[in-house]
Structure 1
Protein backbone atom coordinates (compact mmCIF):
# COMPACT_ATOMS: atom_id res chain seq x y z
CA UNK A 1 0.00 0.00 0.00
CA UNK A 2 2.81 2.36 0.88
CA UNK A 3 4.48 1.65 -2.47
CA UNK A 4 1.28 2.56 -4.32
CA UNK A 5 0.93 5.71 -2.27
CA UNK A 6 4.56 6.57 -3.06
CA UNK A 7 4.01 6.15 -6.77
CA UNK A 8 0.89 8.30 -6.57
CA UNK A 9 2.80 11.02 -4.70
CA UNK A 10 5.53 10.99 -7.32
CA UNK A 11 2.96 11.23 -10.09
CA UNK A 12 1.28 14.15 -8.39
CA UNK A 13 4.67 15.81 -7.98
CA UNK A 14 5.42 15.36 -11.67
CA UNK A 15 2.00 16.80 -12.57
CA UNK A 16 2.66 19.81 -10.36
CA UNK A 17 6.11 20.31 -11.97
CA UNK A 18 4.60 20.01 -15.43
CA UNK A 19 1.85 22.48 -14.57
CA UNK A 20 4.41 24.88 -13.08
CA UNK A 21 6.60 24.67 -16.21
CA UNK A 22 3.59 25.38 -18.41
CA UNK A 23 2.67 28.42 -16.34
CA UNK A 24 6.25 29.69 -16.48
CA UNK A 25 6.37 29.13 -20.23
CA UNK A 26 3.07 30.93 -20.71
CA UNK A 27 4.22 33.89 -18.62
CA UNK A 28 7.53 34.05 -20.49
CA UNK A 29 5.73 33.95 -23.84
CA UNK A 30 3.40 36.76 -22.77
CA UNK A 31 6.32 38.81 -21.48
CA UNK A 32 8.26 38.35 -24.72
CA UNK A 33 5.23 39.20 -26.82
CA UNK A 34 4.55 42.28 -24.75
CA UNK A 35 8.16 43.39 -25.05
CA UNK A 36 8.09 43.01 -28.83
CA UNK A 37 4.86 44.99 -29.07
CA UNK A 38 6.33 47.73 -26.89
CA UNK A 39 9.54 47.77 -28.93
CA UNK A 40 7.60 48.09 -32.17
CA UNK A 41 5.46 50.87 -30.72
CA UNK A 42 8.58 52.85 -29.88
CA UNK A 43 10.75 52.12 -32.92
CA UNK A 44 8.14 51.40 -35.57
CA UNK A 45 7.61 55.02 -36.59
CA UNK A 46 11.36 55.42 -37.06
CA UNK A 47 12.17 52.29 -39.05
CA UNK A 48 8.98 51.90 -41.06
CA UNK A 49 8.94 53.74 -44.38
CA UNK A 50 6.57 56.68 -44.56
CA UNK A 51 3.75 56.48 -47.09
CA UNK A 52 5.33 58.14 -50.09
CA UNK A 53 4.67 58.13 -53.79
CA UNK A 54 7.97 56.27 -53.99
CA UNK A 55 8.88 54.30 -50.88
CA UNK A 56 11.78 56.05 -49.16
CA UNK A 57 12.74 54.17 -45.97
CA UNK A 58 14.47 55.94 -43.11
CA UNK A 59 18.17 55.01 -43.09
CA UNK A 60 20.18 57.35 -40.83
CA UNK A 61 23.13 59.13 -42.40
CA UNK A 62 26.50 57.95 -41.14
CA UNK A 63 28.89 60.36 -39.45
CA UNK A 64 31.11 60.18 -42.53
CA UNK A 65 28.21 61.06 -44.81
CA UNK A 66 27.37 64.10 -42.69
CA UNK A 67 31.03 65.14 -42.74
CA UNK A 68 31.21 64.74 -46.53
CA UNK A 69 28.06 66.81 -47.05
CA UNK A 70 29.38 69.63 -44.90
CA UNK A 71 32.78 69.52 -46.63
CA UNK A 72 31.26 70.17 -50.08
CA UNK A 73 29.27 73.09 -48.66
CA UNK A 74 32.23 74.84 -46.99
CA UNK A 75 32.26 77.70 -49.49
CA UNK A 76 28.47 77.99 -49.53
CA UNK A 77 25.96 80.01 -47.54
CA UNK A 78 22.27 80.85 -47.55
CA UNK A 79 19.35 78.49 -47.16
CA UNK A 80 19.60 74.71 -47.09
CA UNK A 81 16.93 72.05 -47.46
CA UNK A 82 17.18 68.33 -46.74
CA UNK A 83 14.64 66.40 -48.80
CA UNK A 84 13.48 63.49 -46.65
CA UNK A 85 15.24 64.78 -43.54
CA UNK A 86 14.73 61.68 -41.36
CA UNK A 87 15.85 62.35 -37.80
CA UNK A 88 17.18 65.79 -38.72
CA UNK A 89 20.91 65.18 -38.35
CA UNK A 90 21.88 66.86 -41.64
CA UNK A 91 19.66 69.88 -40.97
CA UNK A 92 21.01 70.25 -37.43
CA UNK A 93 24.65 69.84 -38.49
CA UNK A 94 24.20 72.44 -41.25
CA UNK A 95 22.54 74.88 -38.83
CA UNK A 96 25.56 74.59 -36.55
CA UNK A 97 27.68 75.69 -39.53
CA UNK A 98 25.60 78.81 -40.04
CA UNK A 99 22.99 77.71 -42.59
CA UNK A 100 19.33 78.52 -42.25
CA UNK A 101 18.24 74.89 -42.53
CA UNK A 102 14.92 73.27 -43.37
CA UNK A 103 13.88 69.63 -43.47
CA UNK A 104 10.91 68.05 -45.24
CA UNK A 105 9.81 64.64 -44.01
CA UNK A 106 6.55 62.75 -44.43
CA UNK A 107 6.86 60.71 -41.23
CA UNK A 108 5.44 62.87 -38.40
CA UNK A 109 7.26 60.92 -35.68
CA UNK A 110 10.60 61.75 -37.27
CA UNK A 111 9.65 65.40 -37.68
CA UNK A 112 8.73 65.74 -34.00
CA UNK A 113 11.90 63.91 -33.00
CA UNK A 114 13.97 66.22 -35.24
CA UNK A 115 12.45 69.30 -33.62
CA UNK A 116 13.27 67.88 -30.21
CA UNK A 117 16.89 67.16 -31.23
CA UNK A 118 17.27 70.68 -32.65
CA UNK A 119 15.98 72.13 -29.38
CA UNK A 120 18.34 69.94 -27.33
CA UNK A 121 21.30 71.05 -29.43
CA UNK A 122 20.39 74.74 -29.28
CA UNK A 123 19.76 75.32 -32.99
CA UNK A 124 15.94 75.30 -33.01
CA UNK A 125 15.86 79.01 -33.95
CA UNK A 126 17.84 78.26 -37.11
CA UNK A 127 16.00 75.12 -38.19
CA UNK A 128 12.51 74.22 -39.37
CA UNK A 129 10.98 70.80 -39.96
CA UNK A 130 7.82 70.22 -41.95
CA UNK A 131 5.57 67.20 -42.43
CA UNK A 132 5.22 67.20 -46.18
CA UNK A 133 5.41 65.11 -49.34
CA UNK A 134 8.47 66.24 -51.32
CA UNK A 135 6.49 66.11 -54.57
CA UNK A 136 4.11 68.77 -53.25
CA UNK A 137 6.86 71.24 -52.26
CA UNK A 138 8.67 73.80 -54.42
CA UNK A 139 12.41 74.05 -53.75
CA UNK A 140 12.94 77.24 -55.78
CA UNK A 141 13.81 79.34 -52.71
CA UNK A 142 16.71 77.13 -51.54
CA UNK A 143 20.33 77.63 -52.52
CA UNK A 144 21.56 74.28 -51.19
CA UNK A 145 19.63 71.03 -51.61
CA UNK A 146 20.49 67.71 -49.95
CA UNK A 147 18.88 64.42 -50.96
CA UNK A 148 19.33 60.87 -49.65
CA UNK A 149 17.29 59.17 -52.36
CA UNK A 150 16.70 55.78 -53.93
CA UNK A 151 17.26 54.97 -57.63
CA UNK A 152 13.52 54.77 -58.39
CA UNK A 153 12.97 58.44 -57.57
CA UNK A 154 16.11 60.11 -58.90
CA UNK A 155 15.00 60.65 -62.50
CA UNK A 156 11.73 62.29 -61.51
CA UNK A 157 13.43 64.39 -58.83
CA UNK A 158 16.10 65.46 -61.31
CA UNK A 159 13.44 66.89 -63.61
CA UNK A 160 11.71 68.64 -60.70
CA UNK A 161 14.88 70.30 -59.41
CA UNK A 162 16.05 71.28 -62.87
CA UNK A 163 12.81 73.15 -63.41
CA UNK A 164 12.57 74.77 -59.95
CA UNK A 165 16.09 75.70 -58.81
CA UNK A 166 17.90 78.97 -59.45
CA UNK A 167 21.19 78.84 -61.35
CA UNK A 168 23.10 79.68 -58.16
CA UNK A 169 21.85 76.56 -56.35
CA UNK A 170 23.88 73.48 -55.48
CA UNK A 171 22.51 69.95 -55.15
CA UNK A 172 24.23 67.28 -53.06
CA UNK A 173 23.09 63.70 -53.67
CA UNK A 174 23.98 60.99 -51.15
CA UNK A 175 24.13 57.21 -51.73
CA UNK A 176 22.86 57.43 -55.34
CA UNK A 177 23.72 59.91 -58.14
CA UNK A 178 21.26 61.51 -60.52
CA UNK A 179 20.80 59.58 -63.78
CA UNK A 180 21.71 62.17 -66.45
CA UNK A 181 23.44 65.05 -64.66
CA UNK A 182 27.24 65.11 -64.68
CA UNK A 183 28.57 65.84 -61.18
CA UNK A 184 30.86 68.82 -60.72
CA UNK A 185 32.57 67.06 -57.85
CA UNK A 186 32.51 63.70 -56.04
CA UNK A 187 33.59 63.15 -52.45
CA UNK A 188 33.87 59.96 -50.40
CA UNK A 189 33.51 56.33 -51.38
CA UNK A 190 31.05 53.47 -51.04
CA UNK A 191 27.84 54.30 -49.19
CA UNK A 192 29.44 57.55 -47.97
CA UNK A 193 29.87 58.96 -51.49
CA UNK A 194 28.29 62.34 -52.22
CA UNK A 195 27.80 63.78 -55.71
CA UNK A 196 27.82 67.57 -56.11
CA UNK A 197 25.82 69.24 -58.87
CA UNK A 198 25.86 72.99 -59.51
CA UNK A 199 22.62 74.20 -61.05
CA UNK A 200 24.43 76.48 -63.50
CA UNK A 201 26.10 73.37 -64.96
CA UNK A 202 23.08 71.12 -65.41
CA UNK A 203 20.92 74.02 -66.56
CA UNK A 204 23.46 75.05 -69.20
CA UNK A 205 23.73 71.45 -70.40
CA UNK A 206 19.95 71.25 -70.66
CA UNK A 207 19.83 74.52 -72.61
CA UNK A 208 22.53 73.29 -74.98
CA UNK A 209 20.73 70.00 -75.52
CA UNK A 210 17.51 71.87 -76.27
CA UNK A 211 19.27 74.10 -78.82
CA UNK A 212 20.81 71.08 -80.52
CA UNK A 213 17.45 69.36 -80.69
CA UNK A 214 15.79 72.46 -82.17
CA UNK A 215 18.62 72.78 -84.68
CA UNK A 216 18.21 69.17 -85.68
CA UNK A 217 14.47 69.61 -86.15
CA UNK A 218 15.02 72.64 -88.40
CA UNK A 219 17.58 70.77 -90.51
CA UNK A 220 15.08 67.99 -91.08
CA UNK A 221 12.62 70.57 -92.38
Structure 2
Protein backbone atom coordinates (compact mmCIF):
# COMPACT_ATOMS: atom_id res chain seq x y z
CA UNK A 1 0.00 0.00 0.00
CA UNK A 2 1.43 3.36 -1.02
CA UNK A 3 1.81 6.06 1.55
CA UNK A 4 0.06 9.42 1.13
CA UNK A 5 2.42 12.32 0.80
CA UNK A 6 1.99 15.61 2.59
CA UNK A 7 0.86 17.11 -0.71
CA UNK A 8 -1.81 14.42 -1.07
CA UNK A 9 -3.10 15.09 2.43
CA UNK A 10 -3.34 18.82 1.74
CA UNK A 11 -5.21 18.22 -1.49
CA UNK A 12 -7.60 15.78 0.18
CA UNK A 13 -8.27 18.22 3.05
CA UNK A 14 -8.92 21.03 0.58
CA UNK A 15 -11.43 18.90 -1.32
CA UNK A 16 -13.30 17.96 1.85
CA UNK A 17 -13.21 21.58 3.03
CA UNK A 18 -14.56 22.85 -0.26
CA UNK A 19 -17.26 20.19 -0.26
CA UNK A 20 -18.28 21.05 3.30
CA UNK A 21 -18.28 24.75 2.55
CA UNK A 22 -20.39 24.21 -0.56
CA UNK A 23 -22.87 22.08 1.37
CA UNK A 24 -23.12 24.74 4.08
CA UNK A 25 -23.73 27.47 1.52
CA UNK A 26 -26.39 25.33 -0.14
CA UNK A 27 -28.19 24.77 3.17
CA UNK A 28 -27.88 28.47 3.98
CA UNK A 29 -29.41 29.33 0.61
CA UNK A 30 -32.34 26.97 1.20
CA UNK A 31 -32.95 28.47 4.66
CA UNK A 32 -32.81 32.02 3.27
CA UNK A 33 -35.26 31.12 0.51
CA UNK A 34 -37.66 29.60 3.04
CA UNK A 35 -37.42 32.67 5.29
CA UNK A 36 -38.08 35.11 2.43
CA UNK A 37 -40.90 32.99 1.03
CA UNK A 38 -42.47 32.58 4.45
CA UNK A 39 -42.24 36.31 5.07
CA UNK A 40 -44.00 37.08 1.80
CA UNK A 41 -46.77 34.60 2.58
CA UNK A 42 -47.19 36.07 6.06
CA UNK A 43 -47.25 39.60 4.65
CA UNK A 44 -49.94 38.65 2.14
CA UNK A 45 -51.95 36.87 4.85
CA UNK A 46 -51.94 39.99 7.01
CA UNK A 47 -52.45 42.67 4.36
CA UNK A 48 -54.45 40.74 1.78
CA UNK A 49 -57.77 40.79 3.65
CA UNK A 50 -57.46 44.57 4.12
CA UNK A 51 -56.84 45.50 0.50
CA UNK A 52 -58.71 42.76 -1.39
CA UNK A 53 -62.45 43.08 -1.99
CA UNK A 54 -64.63 41.02 0.28
CA UNK A 55 -66.91 38.48 -1.37
CA UNK A 56 -70.14 40.35 -1.81
CA UNK A 57 -73.23 40.37 -4.00
CA UNK A 58 -71.73 43.52 -5.51
CA UNK A 59 -67.97 43.99 -5.28
CA UNK A 60 -67.28 46.68 -2.66
CA UNK A 61 -63.52 47.07 -2.20
CA UNK A 62 -62.04 48.54 0.96
CA UNK A 63 -60.87 52.11 0.32
CA UNK A 64 -60.29 54.07 3.55
CA UNK A 65 -62.14 57.36 3.96
CA UNK A 66 -59.96 60.45 3.83
CA UNK A 67 -59.85 63.03 6.60
CA UNK A 68 -61.72 65.46 4.36
CA UNK A 69 -64.47 62.91 3.71
CA UNK A 70 -64.89 62.41 7.45
CA UNK A 71 -65.23 66.15 7.96
CA UNK A 72 -67.80 66.41 5.16
CA UNK A 73 -69.87 63.51 6.52
CA UNK A 74 -70.15 64.99 9.99
CA UNK A 75 -70.64 68.54 8.76
CA UNK A 76 -73.87 67.47 7.01
CA UNK A 77 -74.90 65.48 10.10
CA UNK A 78 -74.34 68.43 12.42
CA UNK A 79 -77.19 68.71 14.91
CA UNK A 80 -78.22 65.09 14.34
CA UNK A 81 -78.13 62.43 17.07
CA UNK A 82 -79.32 58.92 17.82
CA UNK A 83 -78.22 55.84 15.93
CA UNK A 84 -75.83 55.78 12.98
CA UNK A 85 -74.95 52.87 10.72
CA UNK A 86 -72.03 52.67 8.31
CA UNK A 87 -72.82 50.24 5.49
CA UNK A 88 -69.57 48.51 4.58
CA UNK A 89 -67.68 49.93 7.55
CA UNK A 90 -64.17 48.89 6.45
CA UNK A 91 -61.62 49.67 9.16
CA UNK A 92 -64.25 51.33 11.34
CA UNK A 93 -63.11 54.94 11.10
CA UNK A 94 -66.59 56.35 10.35
CA UNK A 95 -68.18 54.40 13.20
CA UNK A 96 -65.45 55.39 15.67
CA UNK A 97 -65.62 59.05 14.65
CA UNK A 98 -69.43 58.96 15.02
CA UNK A 99 -69.17 57.48 18.51
CA UNK A 100 -66.81 60.27 19.53
CA UNK A 101 -69.51 62.73 18.42
CA UNK A 102 -72.19 61.16 20.56
CA UNK A 103 -73.84 58.74 18.13
CA UNK A 104 -74.65 55.15 19.00
CA UNK A 105 -72.70 53.83 16.04
CA UNK A 106 -72.82 50.47 14.25
CA UNK A 107 -70.83 49.08 11.35
CA UNK A 108 -71.70 46.20 9.03
CA UNK A 109 -68.80 44.66 7.13
CA UNK A 110 -68.47 41.31 5.34
CA UNK A 111 -64.69 41.08 5.72
CA UNK A 112 -64.00 39.51 9.15
CA UNK A 113 -60.41 40.78 9.29
CA UNK A 114 -61.64 44.36 9.02
CA UNK A 115 -64.33 43.78 11.64
CA UNK A 116 -61.81 42.39 14.15
CA UNK A 117 -59.46 45.26 13.43
CA UNK A 118 -62.31 47.78 13.89
CA UNK A 119 -63.24 46.29 17.26
CA UNK A 120 -59.64 46.48 18.42
CA UNK A 121 -59.34 50.06 17.18
CA UNK A 122 -62.58 51.07 18.96
CA UNK A 123 -61.27 49.51 22.19
CA UNK A 124 -57.94 51.27 21.82
CA UNK A 125 -59.66 54.64 21.31
CA UNK A 126 -62.04 54.13 24.23
CA UNK A 127 -65.35 53.99 22.33
CA UNK A 128 -66.00 50.24 22.41
CA UNK A 129 -69.01 50.77 24.68
CA UNK A 130 -70.82 52.93 22.11
CA UNK A 131 -69.80 51.05 18.96
CA UNK A 132 -70.71 47.68 17.48
CA UNK A 133 -69.27 45.91 14.46
CA UNK A 134 -70.93 42.97 12.76
CA UNK A 135 -69.74 40.52 10.12
CA UNK A 136 -72.69 40.58 7.76
CA UNK A 137 -73.80 40.95 4.17
CA UNK A 138 -75.56 44.32 3.85
CA UNK A 139 -78.31 42.75 1.73
CA UNK A 140 -79.28 40.50 4.65
CA UNK A 141 -79.57 43.29 7.23
CA UNK A 142 -82.55 45.54 7.93
CA UNK A 143 -81.67 49.20 8.48
CA UNK A 144 -85.11 50.19 9.75
CA UNK A 145 -83.88 51.06 13.27
CA UNK A 146 -81.24 53.58 12.16
CA UNK A 147 -81.86 57.31 11.82
CA UNK A 148 -78.51 58.13 10.20
CA UNK A 149 -77.02 56.06 7.39
CA UNK A 150 -73.59 56.43 5.80
CA UNK A 151 -72.57 54.51 2.69
CA UNK A 152 -69.32 54.43 0.71
CA UNK A 153 -70.71 52.52 -2.24
CA UNK A 154 -69.94 51.78 -5.87
CA UNK A 155 -72.20 52.64 -8.83
CA UNK A 156 -73.19 48.99 -9.44
CA UNK A 157 -74.91 48.72 -6.04
CA UNK A 158 -76.55 52.12 -5.61
CA UNK A 159 -79.77 51.40 -7.52
CA UNK A 160 -80.42 48.22 -5.54
CA UNK A 161 -79.62 50.02 -2.30
CA UNK A 162 -82.09 52.79 -3.18
CA UNK A 163 -84.93 50.27 -3.21
CA UNK A 164 -83.80 48.66 0.05
CA UNK A 165 -83.46 51.94 1.96
CA UNK A 166 -86.69 53.36 0.52
CA UNK A 167 -88.53 50.37 1.88
CA UNK A 168 -86.83 50.02 5.26
CA UNK A 169 -85.96 53.47 6.61
CA UNK A 170 -88.21 55.66 8.71
CA UNK A 171 -89.20 59.08 7.33
CA UNK A 172 -86.99 60.80 9.92
CA UNK A 173 -83.83 59.13 8.66
CA UNK A 174 -81.03 60.83 6.74
CA UNK A 175 -78.70 59.09 4.29
CA UNK A 176 -75.20 60.30 3.42
CA UNK A 177 -73.67 58.82 0.25
CA UNK A 178 -69.92 59.21 -0.23
CA UNK A 179 -67.95 59.06 -3.51
CA UNK A 180 -71.02 58.15 -5.60
CA UNK A 181 -74.59 59.54 -5.45
CA UNK A 182 -77.77 57.51 -5.73
CA UNK A 183 -78.94 57.26 -9.35
CA UNK A 184 -82.57 58.45 -9.12
CA UNK A 185 -82.85 60.31 -5.81
CA UNK A 186 -82.43 64.09 -5.76
CA UNK A 187 -80.07 65.11 -2.95
CA UNK A 188 -81.31 67.57 -0.34
CA UNK A 189 -77.77 68.83 0.19
CA UNK A 190 -74.24 68.37 -1.19
CA UNK A 191 -70.92 69.03 0.53
CA UNK A 192 -67.31 68.86 -0.63
CA UNK A 193 -65.93 68.36 -4.10
CA UNK A 194 -64.26 65.70 -6.22
CA UNK A 195 -63.69 62.36 -4.53
CA UNK A 196 -64.55 63.90 -1.15
CA UNK A 197 -68.08 64.91 -2.21
CA UNK A 198 -70.99 63.70 -0.07
CA UNK A 199 -74.65 63.70 -1.08
CA UNK A 200 -77.36 64.03 1.57
CA UNK A 201 -80.83 62.53 1.23
CA UNK A 202 -83.76 62.94 3.61
CA UNK A 203 -85.84 59.78 3.84
CA UNK A 204 -89.02 61.84 3.95
CA UNK A 205 -88.20 63.07 0.43
CA UNK A 206 -87.27 59.80 -1.24
CA UNK A 207 -90.04 57.84 0.46
CA UNK A 208 -92.51 60.19 -1.25
CA UNK A 209 -91.37 58.61 -4.51
CA UNK A 210 -92.90 55.30 -3.42
CA UNK A 211 -96.22 56.97 -2.59
CA UNK A 212 -96.24 58.87 -5.88
CA UNK A 213 -95.49 55.67 -7.79
CA UNK A 214 -98.31 53.87 -5.99
CA UNK A 215 -100.71 56.74 -6.70
CA UNK A 216 -99.74 56.65 -10.38
CA UNK A 217 -100.34 52.89 -10.49
CA UNK A 218 -103.80 53.33 -8.93
CA UNK A 219 -104.70 56.02 -11.46
CA UNK A 220 -103.57 53.78 -14.33
CA UNK A 221 -105.63 50.88 -13.00
CA UNK A 222 -108.72 53.08 -12.57
CA UNK A 223 -108.40 54.38 -16.14
CA UNK A 224 -108.22 50.89 -17.61
Class of the TM-score when normalised by the shorter of the 2 chains: 0.7 to 0.9
1:155-199 deviation per Cα after TM superposition (whole angstroms, max 9, x unaligned): 111101100000000011111111111111111111111110100
1:216 counterpart SS class: helix
1:171 counterpart SS class: strand
1:125 counterpart SS class: coil
The structure 2 residue matched to 1:93, chosen from 94, 97, 102, is: 97
1:95-128 deviation per Cα after TM superposition (whole angstroms, max 9, x unaligned): 0000000011111111111111111111111111
Structure 1 segment 111-150 matched on structure 2, within 5 A: 111-150=115-154
Using the size of structure 2 for normalisation, the TM-score is 0.84
Partner of 1:170: 174
The structure 2 residue matched to 1:179, chosen from 183, 197, 215, is: 183
Unaligned runs of 5+ in 1: 1-11
Partner of 1:154: 158
Partner of 1:49: 53
The structure 2 residue matched to 1:106, chosen from 86, 103, 110, is: 110
1:129 counterpart SS class: strand
Q: Aligned partners of 1:45, 1:202: CA distance in 2, in Å?
A: 35
Q: Aligned partners of 1:137, 1:202: CA distance in 2, in Å?
A: 20
* Equivalent pairs, count: 213
Once superposed, what is the RMSD of the aligned Cα atoms? 2.5
Q: Aligned partners of 1:213, 1:102: CA distance in 2, in Å?
A: 37
Partner of 2:206: 202
1:177 counterpart SS class: coil
Offset of residue 45 of structure 1: 1.7
Offset of residue 26 of structure 1: 5.9
Structure index of larger Rg: 2
Partner of 1:8: none
1:121-140 deviation per Cα after TM superposition (whole angstroms, max 9, x unaligned): 11111111111111111100
